[in-house]
Each structure stands twice: as structure tokens, then as C-alpha cells.
Amino acid sequence: MSWLSLLQPWRRPQALGAGCSALLLLVLLLMPARANALDLAVSDVSLEPCPASDIGAQPQLRRPSGASCYALRGVVTNTGRKTVVDTDVFAQILDASGEPVLQNRSRVGSIGDVPPGQSSFALRLAIPAGTPGPFQFRLVKARGFSAPVRTRAEEGDELLPLEQQIATDEALG
């Protein structure tokens, strides 16, 4: 074997296979971890008008052609041992005649991170004005991830009034 053959590993199948294996291993090690989707149970769901004190209610902007502010509240249960992050809530909300209130939309909002156990949540929804109640719910579920999939909020970011109320209720309860 000559020294020239040592400098040309592509001529040796064993060296080519080892090189490909090393490259594949390097790529796998440098890839970010995949975030697995996790389904969570949702219970005690209710939809009620936003409190008048909530800035999202915007009483000065109410018109027959506008939208009304409602708060979708419930309890989400994480049966796992780790926090589920970037959690979204999905639901089909129906009016009194059984028609969907939010056309072509099943994701109703994000509730962020859900620690193990039960957690209360509230989401603000804009329901078209004049939609006949009472409202019904179907296919209510939450889905989050084992690792972050969105940009995380920074320390000191302001919470909206509805989020502040939830945080206060959880701290007291």
C-alpha cells in the first residue's frame, strides 16, 4: 500500500463508511431535541362575559356589528411528572342553534406552561355580537409540548388583567 492511497480514503470502502457514520453521528448530536406533543384533559369549562373591569371588555366599543368579550375558563390536568410547555387549548364552541361560534377555528388560545397536577386557566375570546346563547362546548382539549416551541416571555413582562386575576386566584387557592 502506498502513501498516496492513504490520502485518498474514498478509494477504500471501509474508510468511506466510517466517515459517513461519523458525519451522521455528528449531525444527530448537534440537532436540537424534538419536542413531543402531549395531550392534556380539560374539565369544568365555562364561557361567561368578561368582567367590566377587564380592559378586553372594551364597553365603549360595543356595537351591534362588533364583538363581545367572553372569558373561557376551565381546569387543565397534567398527569405527567414534568411541566408541559407552550400549551394551546382547542374547542368547538356552539351557539344555541348548534352552529359554530368561531368559524374555521378550533384553537381558542394559549395557556403557556402547565405544571403537574390541576391548573385553572382563562382565555379571552371575541364572540360576534348578537350570537344567541347559551353556548355549548365540544371536543375541548389542551395540547402542549415536552420542550419549548415558541419564544419564551422574559422576566418582568406585564400580564394582562385576566392573566393577573388567574395568577392571584392560584396564589390564594
**Higher per-residue pLDDT: 118 or 173:** 118
57 and 90 fall within a common domain: yes
124 and 47 fall within a common domain: yes
53 and 14 fall within a common domain: no
What local confidence, expressed as pLDDT, does residue 118 receive?
A: 94
In a domain, 58, yes or no: yes
In a domain, 155, yes or no: no
45 and 111 fall within a common domain: yes
16 and 63 fall within a common domain: no
In a domain, 54, yes or no: yes
In a domain, 152, yes or no: no
Instruction: Determine the Cα–Cα distance for residues 146 and 103; give it in Å rounded to an integer.
Output: 30
Grid coordinates of 70: 367572553
Give residue 98's domain range.
37-147+161-172
**Higher per-residue pLDDT: 47 or 20:** 47
Give pLDDT tens digits for 82-119: 998 888 999 999 999 988 988 877 889 889 889 999 99
74 and 114 fall within a common domain: yes
25 and 41 fall within a common domain: no
| CATH code of the domain covering residue 89 | 2.60.40
- Overall number of domains in the chain: 2
What local confidence, expressed as pLDDT, does residue 166 receive?
A: 64
25 and 89 fall within a common domain: no
**Residue 22 vs residues 17, 31, 73: alpha-carbon distances, Å:** 9, 14, 52
Contacts 24+ apart (CB under 8 A), 149-153: 149/35, 149/85, 149/86, 150/86, 153/112
Instruction: Determine the Cα–Cα distance for residues 110 and 104; give it in Å rounded to an integer.
Output: 17
167 and 94 fall within a common domain: yes
